[in-house]
Amino acid sequence: MSPEIERETVLGLQGVSYTYPGSVTPALKGIDLDIRRGEIVFVTGPTGAGKTTLCLAASGILHHEYGGIIEGTVTILGKDVQDYRNMGEIGRSVGVVFDDADAQLIFTTVEEEVASGLENLGIPREEMQQRLRYVMEATGIVDLADRAPHTLSGGQKQRVVLAATLALGTEILILDEPTAELDTGATRAVASLLRRLADEGTTVLIVEQKLDELTEIADRIILIEDGSIRRVGSLAEMMQDALLHHLTDDGLPFCRQSVTAPENGAPAIVSIRNLVHRYDGVAALKGIDLDVAPGEIVAVVGENGSGKTTLIKHLNGLLRPTEGSVSVDGLDAATVPIADLARRVGLVFQNPDTMLFAETVEDEVAFGVRNIDPHCNNEPVEAALREVGLLHRRTDYPRSLSRGERQRLAIACVIAMQPKVIVLDEPTTGLDAREAARIMEILERLRQEGRAIIMVTHDLRLGERYADRIIRMEQGRIIGSESASMEEPCLRLCSTSPGRAPFTASTHSPN
């Protein structure tokens, strides 16, 4: 590739401001950005900063599909996006991965999903076969070829969507949180693949909440806040910025406290013995033994399909054991009705939108409380909202809250019911580090009140940083249980975590 070609701008935004229909506050304000051929640009910023809107603007979607008030110019390959006939024409040059993987899976098998876009390109069959094989191998989804996309885990879905987009071989890739649900190894594989594509001339714009392995391959990092570009530079230059510092794990204002370690010998509030669960005869759990004490934070980690979610569903009766026993606060979870278990075990699902249906934040929290005690006053509702910092939003429509606020609302819904055990499925996915830290601060306070916290996560760093104990699962079994060291936990993690990006160990003090 000649230097002239390298310098050619393929994606340009000049003075772009945008206000969504029905809104008065601009989501983007005067964005100026030129991205050159073969460049990888990494855009980050806090939740609600305008990152996704920037993706929509850069791909021409705002102009062609959204309406609203748009100012400035967006060019793709030197041509104004308004001069493209429709998104189909833009799609020949630009591949977009949206943050909702599920909505981008159209077909009924994984192979079909990846192959179908290729069939629309009008290229020879042999080339299609080669590309199909290449992207499926590169994204690690060969084994999933015959699986139905809707049965995959979040991380697997993300890989399939990425493969389906990469297969199109577009000159420009715009990726909105493409690795949010991937573990460190899978994220590294994606990073390496993107670097290779960029070296071959593909231009990549990546938006991510958190700074992870993808930052290592970026030529430029852009920090966006309140709809404006706040800073542009290399990773080393950017780490001087206080806001970016807060977006990294090491910039978190909170770290696990050592003063409230669970007492040795305290009776377990959750006791699982030889738990076996079979779905249609296939064993998903194969003899689990686990005790969790009050005031303990336990992280359950493991690859997709290792049995984590199956395990936690036994705690509140959503699943019943095929064999073995599950005891929660002295109750037999195999036989007690779900409604009774819900008083003792609160379950926060990964996606808060799974449960939100009420007209106001307050009603949403009151729903669970009133299910337990129809005559209960509003005190627990207010206390829970105060705990999660949403009391001032009590009359707002729940779905109008930001992603981080909705996650906190989901936690409020559970803690208002005052359970002794709180179970969270991927509590920080989709949140920036600052929001994630806020969630973990809440959990720490709950732990200090003596509640047992069990969190399922694919993010080993989260477990290492915050949990007292890490339970590792693989193929339905617990393969390891380790206590986190109470001495300088963050320092230990920053220097030894295998998946940590290099900058995090060297640039910051642990606390």
Partner 1 sequence: MQYVARESAFHRLHPLTKLIFAALVVALAVLTSDLVMLALLAGAVVVVAIASGLARDLLRQVPLLLSLAASLLLLTVLTIRSGAILGYLVPPTVPVIGGAFPITAGAVDLAVAMSLRFAAMLFAFQLLVISTQPRDLVHLMDRLRMPVDYTLMLLIALRFIPSLQLEGKRIHEAQLARAYNPGKGLAGKIRGLFPIIIPLVSNSLGKATVLGLTIDLRGYRSGRRTPMRNLSPGRADVACICCMALATAGYLAVLLV
Q: Per DSSP, what are the bridge partners of residue 222?
A: 43, 232
Of 44 and 93, nearer to partner 1 (C-beta) is 93
Terminal CA-CA length for the chain: 45
Q: Is 356 in the site for partner 1 (CB under 8 A)?
A: yes
Q: Is 414 in the site for partner 1 (CB under 8 A)?
A: yes
Q: Identify which range of 27-35, 190-198, 367-375, 400-408 contacts partner 1 by CB under 8 A.
A: 367-375
- 277-316 mask for partner 1 (x: CB under 8 A)? ------------------------------------x--x
d(CA 400, CA 360): 10
Of 370 and 508, nearer to partner 1 (C-beta) is 370
Q: Identify which range of 24-32, 39-47, 218-226, 348-356 contacts partner 1 by CB under 8 A.
A: 348-356
Which class for 84: exposed (0-12), middle (13-18), buried (19 or more C-beta within 10 A)? Answer: buried
Alpha-carbon radius of gyration of the chain: 24
Decide if 45 contacts 51 (C-beta within 8 A): yes
> Please, what is the minimum distance in Å from the beta carbon of residue 339 to partner 1?
5
Q: Identify which range of 111-119, 385-393, 428-436, 460-468 contacts partner 1 by CB under 8 A.
A: 111-119
Decide if 455 contacts 256 (C-beta within 8 A): no
In this chain, which of 150, 259, 264, 487 binds partner 1, going by CB under 8 A? 150
Of 153 and 260, nearer to partner 1 (C-beta) is 153
In this chain, which of 48, 155, 368, 404 binds partner 1, going by CB under 8 A? 368
* 3-state per-residue secondary structure call for 61-91: HHHHHHCCEEEEEEEECCEEHHHCCCHHHHH
Q: Is 483 in the site for partner 1 (CB under 8 A)?
A: no
d(CA 348, CA 410): 6
d(CA 87, CA 109): 25
In this chain, which of 1, 103, 236, 479 binds partner 1, going by CB under 8 A? 103
Q: How many residues bind partner 1 (CB under 8 A)?
A: 66
In this chain, which of 105, 191, 301, 493 binds partner 1, going by CB under 8 A? 105
Of 134 and 349, nearer to partner 1 (C-beta) is 349
Pairing of strands 28-36, 9-19: antiparallel
Of 155 and 262, nearer to partner 1 (C-beta) is 155
Q: Identify which range of 177-185, 242-250, 343-351, 375-383 contacts partner 1 by CB under 8 A.
A: 343-351
In this chain, which of 49, 164, 190, 460 binds partner 1, going by CB under 8 A? 164
Q: Per DSSP, what are the bridge partners of residue 299?
A: 455, 470
In this chain, which of 20, 107, 134, 254 binds partner 1, going by CB under 8 A? 107
* 3-state per-residue secondary structure call for 101-134: CHHHCCCCCHHHHHHHHHHCCCCCHHHHHHHHHH
Which class for 119: exposed (0-12), middle (13-18), buried (19 or more C-beta within 10 A)? Answer: exposed
Of 164 and 269, nearer to partner 1 (C-beta) is 164
Residue 236 structure tokens:
């080393």
* Closest C-alpha to 57, from 31, 83, 79, 38: 31
Decide if 240 contacts 223 (C-beta within 8 A): no
Q: Identify which range of 24-32, 83-91, 188-196, 388-396 contacts partner 1 by CB under 8 A.
A: 83-91
Which 27-46 positions form the footprint of partner 1 (CB under 8 A)? Answer: none
d(CA 298, CA 453): 6
> Please, what is the minimum distance in Å from the beta carbon of residue 131 to partner 1?
10
Q: Is 61 in the site for partner 1 (CB under 8 A)?
A: yes
Q: Is 346 in the site for partner 1 (CB under 8 A)?
A: yes
d(CA 153, CA 136): 17
Residues that bind partner 1 (CB under 8 A): 61, 65, 86-88, 90-92, 94-96, 98, 100, 102-109, 112, 115-125, 128-129, 132, 146, 148, 150, 164, 168, 313, 316, 318, 337-339, 342-343, 345-347, 349, 353-357, 367-368, 371-372, 399, 413-414, 417
